[in-house]
Amino acid sequence: MTRIGLAATGLSKAFGGVRAVDDATVEFHHGKINALIGPNGSGKTTFFNCVTGMIKPDSGRVTYYDADITGKAPHRIARAGVGRSFQLCRIFPRMTALENVLAAVRPPSRARLLASAHHRGDVARARELLSRVGIEHLESSEARALSYGQQKLLELAGVLMADPDTIMLDEPAGGVNPALIERIAALVRSLNAEGKTFIVVEHNMELVMSLSDHVIVFDRGTQISAGPPSVVQQDPRVLEAYLGI
């Protein structure tokens, strides 16, 4: 029996007269790589923002393993076990890669990030995660000196620093070269094998179909299809939303 982790029921969010998310009811499978796809403007990122507390929905309910997290502050949702990345990387450009990862669990002050012996365990873990994502050699480099793909890996390391059970990635392959896309995909697969649940917004359909166990399709702010990749890509509603046929 499929266990449901994160779920939304009747979720809506409007900006002026535009309903970016429109009565969306969605379930994400525990322990799986879930993909959330849809045409540009279909409400995927707004949905992410509502779920993670970045913005408050106008109506509806968000649950995480049956606990109501609707409208809670982002840090409280993160503490519940939900981590996320952003469509445009959120990093501290003038801080080093190591300091950026530490900032995920410590105040972003250089004097406090590295000086305290009490935090040595965090420093060791941050270095371990930089190695895990393959940029340990850039530990002392300022984040702004990294390529965009490397910044994506750095942001992922920061997400992992809090050890979330569920990881939401917003366009992890966007603007990234093919070699780094493969590295990100391999990381997602290996972390999933260790028990992490993923929810991935992505426009790279080849990546989505090869990586995902469960695919949810959005159009005009609501779910129009859900299921295994092989089923979803044959759904007439999906073909119509993407191709107009």
Residue-wise pLDDT for 36-82, tens only, equals: 999 888 899 999 999 999 999 999 999 999 899 999 999 999 999 99
> For residue 3, what is the DSSP state?
P
35, β-bridge pairs? 200, 215
Residue 107 has pLDDT above 70, yes or no: no
Query: What length is written for the chain?
Result: 245
Average pLDDT over the chain reads 90
Q: What pLDDT digit, counting tens, does each position of 1-42 carry?
A: 789 999 999 999 999 889 999 999 999 999 999 999 998 888
* CA 200 vs CA 14, 127, 144, 185, 191: distances in Å: 23, 25, 25, 11, 13
SS3 of 212-227: CCEEEEEECCEEEEEE
* CATH fold of the domain at 1-81+164-245: Rossmann fold (3.40.50)
Query: What's the pLDDT at 88?
Result: 78
Strands (E), 129-213: 166-170, 197-201
Give the pLDDT confidence of 115-166 residue by residue, as tens digits.
554 467 888 999 999 999 999 999 999 999 999 999 999 999 999 999 999 9
For the chain, give every domain's residue range.
1-81+164-245, 92-163
| CA triple 222-34-166, angle to 5 deg | 105
The pLDDT value given to residue 174: 85
Residue 97 CB neighbours (<10 A): 29
Q: In what order do the strands lie in the sheet with 67-68?
A: 18-29, 4-15, 59-64, 67-68
pLDDT of the residue at 218: 92
pLDDT at 177 over 70: yes
* Alpha carbon of residue 98 to chain centroid: 21
State the pTM of this model: 0.91
